[in-house]
Amino acid sequence: MLSGFLLMYLTQLHLRTFRNYQEQLVNFSGQKTIILGNNAQGKSNLLEAVELLATLKSHRVSKDRELVTEDAETGQILATVNRKYGTSHLGLILRTTGRRTVMLNNEPLRRHLDFLGVLNAVEFSSLDLDLVRGAPETRRNWIDTLLLQLEPIYLRILQDYNQVLRQRNALLKEIRHREEKGADNLGDYLEQLSLWDTQLAQTGSRVTRRRARVLTRLAPLAQKWHESISGKKETLMINYLPNVEWTSDDPASVQKAFIDRIATRRIAEYQLATSVVGPHRDDISLVIDDTPAKSYGSQGQQRTLVLSLKLAELQLLEEVIGEPPLLLLDDVLAELDLERQNQLLNAIEDRFQTLITATHLNAFDGAWLKSSQIFTVERGKIEAR
Ligand SMILES: Nc1ncnc2c1ncn2[C@@H]1O[C@H](COP(=O)(O)OP(=O)(O)OP(=O)(O)O)[C@@H](O)[C@H]1O
Ligand SMILES: [Mg+2]
C-alpha cells in the first residue's frame, strides 16, 4: 500500500506509560488509518501523542503530569518518520515533574526547537470549534502552534517573550507593593521598568510580526477553502487584531509602536500591576459576510469555518515544508454533514497520511474504507482489525 510515494510518513509509533497506554507499538502500513473504538478507550490519546511529536504541545492539557500514565513517573513517545531526505527516530520523554527530554536519532537534543520540523501534523478535533467560540487565548495558541511548525525558531521567540513578560509583571507587582507600603524612593525600580519596556518591545515585536506574516499567508488559503465548501455563498475574513497596532513591518518602527503604547497605558499598568501591552493580548477576528463568526448562529457554519482554517493550515505547511504534513482527524467526520465530509475527503485524496478516529464506521464511504488500515482500540490496547 505504501510503496512508491515519497511523503512525510510516520511508520511506527511506540508508546510507553503514556496516558492509558502501558506499552503499545503501532505500525502504520497505509496512507489512511482509521482508529476505531468506543468512548474513553484511547483514540484521542493516540492522536495526542502524534501531535506532541509535531508541536511539543498538546491542545488538550498544559501539564505533562496528565500525559504520564497514572502511577508512573515517566511516559515515552517514540516514533519513526520517513522523509524525502531519510528516516528519523524521534523520542520524547515526559515526566510528572514537567522536565522533558527530546531525542533525535537516539541523541538527546539540547535545543527543543531542533526537534520541531521532523514530523509535521495538523490536528482537527471537535475541540477546535473553540477557535470560533472560545477566548482569544485559544486563537493565539492556534496560530502560535502553526508558527512553531512553520518556523521552529518561533519556539525561542515565544519563550523569550514570555520570560520578559513574567519578569516585567513581577516588577510591576513589586512597585505596587512598595507604593502601598508608602515607599518614596522608587527611582531604581522605575529605571528597571524602563529597561523591561525595551525588552518587551524587542521580544514582543518579533512575536507580533511573525503572527501578522503567517496570517497574511493563511487568510487567502482559508478564504478559498471556505468559498468552495460553502459554495461561494459566504465570504470569510480573517483579521489580525494585534494589541499593539503597527503599520510598517520593520523592527525599529514596530518596537517604537510598543514603546508609545506602553507610555499611554502606564497608569493602567500601575493600577493593575500587570503588563497590559503586548501580544499576550492579541486576538484574531473571524468574520463571515461582515458578521463575527462567533455570533453567527449555525454550528454548521462554524464547522465549515474551522474546516477551512484547518485545510488552509495543511496547505500552507505543505507549501513551506515541501512535503505534505500528517492530518489528524479526531472525531470530526461524524460531526460534518455528508457534503462537507466529501469536501474533506476529496481534499485529502491521497495527498496526506491521515489518522482518523471514529466510534463507528458508518460515516466512511466504501472506497475510503477499502483503502484504509483499520485499528481497534480498547482500554489502551490497539489491534489490527
Ligand atoms: N494519565 C493517564 N493515566 C491513565 N489513564 C488516562 C490518563 N489520561 C487519560 N486516561 C484515560 O484515557 C481514557 C480517555 O482516552 P481518550 O481521550 O483517548 O478517549 P477516546 O477513545 O478518544 O474517547 P472519546 O470517544 O470519548 O473521545 C480515559 O479512560 C482516561 O481515564
Ligand atoms: Mg476522543
pLDDT in tens, 40-96: 999 999 999 999 999 999 999 989 999 999 999 999 999 999 999 899 999 999 999
Q: Band of the pLDDT at 183, cuts 50, 70, 90?
A: confident
Of 118-132, 162-176, 197-211, 275-289, the one with minimum mean pLDDT is: 118-132
Query: Does the beta carbon of 40 sit less than 6 angstroms from any atom of ligand 1?
Result: yes
Identify the pLDDT of residue 4: 43
Identify the pLDDT of residue 295: 84
For residue 380, give the ligand 1 atom closest to its CA.
12
* Residue 84 to residue 120: CA distance in whole angstroms: 13
CB-based contact 34:376 (threshold 8 Å): no
* Residue 308 to residue 325: CA distance in whole angstroms: 16
Query: Does the beta carbon of 70 sit less than 6 angstroms from any atom of ligand 1?
Result: yes
Sheet holding 354-358, edge to edge: 121-125, 326-330, 354-358, 32-36, 372-378, 381-384
| Cα 50 to averaged position of ligand 2 atoms, centre (Å) | 14
Q: Band of the pLDDT at 3, cuts 50, 70, 90?
A: very low
* Residue 121 to residue 368: CA distance in whole angstroms: 21
Using DSSP bridges, classify how beta strands 86-95 and 74-83 pair: parallel, antiparallel or unpaired. antiparallel
CB-count burial class (<10 Å; 0-12, 13-18, 19+) for 366: exposed
What distances in angstroms separate CA 204 from CA 26, 142, 143, 164, one per listed residue? 41, 18, 15, 9
| Cα 59 to averaged position of ligand 1 atoms, centre (Å) | 14
Residue recorded with cell 479526531: 330
28 pLDDT exceeds 90? yes
For residue 46, give the ligand 1 atom closest to its CA.
18
* Residue 26 to residue 53: CA distance in whole angstroms: 15
Q: Which top CATH class is 1-120+323-385? A: alpha beta
Identify the pLDDT of residue 336: 84
- Give domain limits for the chain: 1-120+323-385, 135-321
Among the four given CATH numbers 3.30.1330.60, 2.60.40.10, 1.20.1050.90, 3.40.50.1370, the one describing domain 135-321: 1.20.1050.90
Q: Model pTM?
A: 0.94
